[in-house]
Amino acid sequence: MEPATSIIKAFGGTRAVSELTGVHIAQVSKWRWSKERGGTDGLIPMKHSVVLLREARVQNIDVKPEDFFPDEDAKTEQAVT
């Protein structure tokens, strides 16, 4: 689920994000799951978002603060179709 999937991919995958945030790899994977499956509906917890934003600047990874929020236009479009 977005936006977690895109952000995790930008950092090189779940293992890389796990190492950067200190969060177990299984928990990082759950950020991409729906709440029904025990995930976060694609949202990365704020305390880890801060770490990832800082690291994005250090590593010159194209991730911006707004990337951590779901695209409301896409959600509306999915609901209509």
**Span 11-51, pLDDT tens digits:** 999 999 999 999 999 999 999 999 999 999 999 999 999 99
**CA-closest candidate to residue 41, choices 30, 50, 51, 52:** 30
Q: How far apart are CA 54 and CA 41, in angstroms?
A: 23
35 HSE (CA, 13 A, CB side):
2
Mean pLDDT along residues 55-75: 89
Q: How far apart are CA 17 and CA 21, in angstroms?
A: 6
H or E stretch including 10? helix 4-10
**CA-closest candidate to residue 62, choices 53, 71, 50, 70:** 53
Tokens of 74: 């896409």
Q: What pLDDT is recorded for position 72?
A: 74
Q: Which domains does the chain have, with CATH numbers?
A: 4-76 (1.10.260)
Checking if the pLDDT of 77 tops 70, the result is no
Q: What pLDDT is recorded for position 20?
A: 98
Q: What pLDDT is recorded for position 75?
A: 52
Q: Model's pTM, two decimal places?
A: 0.85
